[in-house]
Amino acid sequence: MAIHKLALIRYRTIDQCLQNRSRKWTLEDLIQKVSETLYEYEGISDGVSKRTIQADIQLMRSDKLGYNAPIAVRERKYYVYEEPGYSISQAAVTNADIEKMTDAVSVLRQLNGLAHFADLSDIIARLENTLRQSVNPSESPIQLEGNGLLKGLEHLMPLYQAIRRKIPLLISYQSFRAKEPRQDIYHPYLLKEYRNRWFLLAKPRKGPQPLALALDRITEILEMNAKDFIPYTGIPFDQYFADTIGVTKSIADRPQKVVLWVNRRHAPYVLTKPIHTSQQLLSEDQTGILIRLDVVLNFELEREILGFGENIKVFAPAQLQQRIKRRLQEAVAVYEPVSRPADKMQDVHPEEDE
């Protein structure tokens, strides 16, 4: 069954409304929200009829589109999802969907030959592999990196839509150190991926600069009034992060000259896969190579350097050198023998301790 573009917008809007369980949704509320969305996305000012929304709800409840949405009516007035956390975006992909997506990938493959679309190769490979796995999981020619246990991916589309529509959000966020989530109003600007983990760059209500919020730490998102949105006025984010490894950066941070020595064994790896786009080769001899990076000093840079272990050495700046040295010393200290009960188990072999 083919889905018209406008119908899909209506289904997604109804779905987003019913996911927001902090509000009671009448049929009139859904009609108004769908009408606003259609005007915003498509410029349609005629709104939508009561009959159309009722038909949409019935279709979403049915198996025709594969949704089987658990939509119920409470108090003979309010529409709700009977299953908390349900979304039609989690519904299984139908054969018709796969066929249409395959056609779309074919068009993308043709565009990939054009200069303006040269960066589509990776996207096309991922899309084709996903579609192939949906038909026959055992016949995948590509194994892509992924973390099936990663939380927060369900927030991607709502956040993406909020950025596009310039809508402030009330976000419940629980950092690793916090015992309970904390709520604040954020103005969303950018979604950024780093090492298979997604982050939202957003300005807090009272904060002077954008913060990076990990999607896997977000517990709830609620849309606020669009008229209160504060636009981003800084430099473009591609420039903002040009001197940064990862996502940790403040407006005041400036790139520094980082000089690293890499031993001969790992030099080819670093030369063929640069640590950062600013990487320059300063010198090379039989012991290894000396390279320079112009980057912000942050946690992600330290983690990248520590990942090389004994195969890399920081020459400059001095503060980074001392910090890496101290962290390596602390790592060694973890393996030093100490007087505690756990050390009495050191003679137990791993395979026996099960």
* pLDDT given for residue 89 in this prediction: 76
**CB hemisphere CA count around 266 (13 angstroms):** 17
C-alpha to C-alpha distance for 254 and 321, rounded to whole angstroms? 18
Is 83 a residue whose pLDDT tops 60?
yes
Q: What is the pLDDT of residues 4-22, one digit of tens each?
A: 778 888 998 999 899 888 8
CB 96 within 8 A of CB 1: yes
SS3 346: coil
Q: What is the pLDDT of residues 126-151, one digit of tens each?
A: 666 666 666 565 555 655 566 656 77
The fold for domain 153-240 equals: SH3 type barrels. (2.30.30)
**CB hemisphere CA count around 302 (13 angstroms):** 15
The residue with greater pLDDT, 93 or 233, is 233
* pLDDT given for residue 353 in this prediction: 37
Break the chain into its structural domains and give their ranges. 5-90, 95-135, 153-240, 256-334
SS3 220: strand
Contacts of 25 (CB under 8 A, 6+ apart): 17, 18, 78, 79, 80
Instruction: Give residue 346's pLDDT band: very low, low, confident or very high (50, 70, 90).
Output: very low
Instruction: Give residue 95's pLDDT band: very low, low, confident or very high (50, 70, 90).
Output: low
The fold for domain 256-334 equals: Alpha-Beta Plaits (3.30.70)
Q: Specify the residue for token string 């190579």.
A: 289
Is 5-90 assigned to CATH 1.10.10?
yes
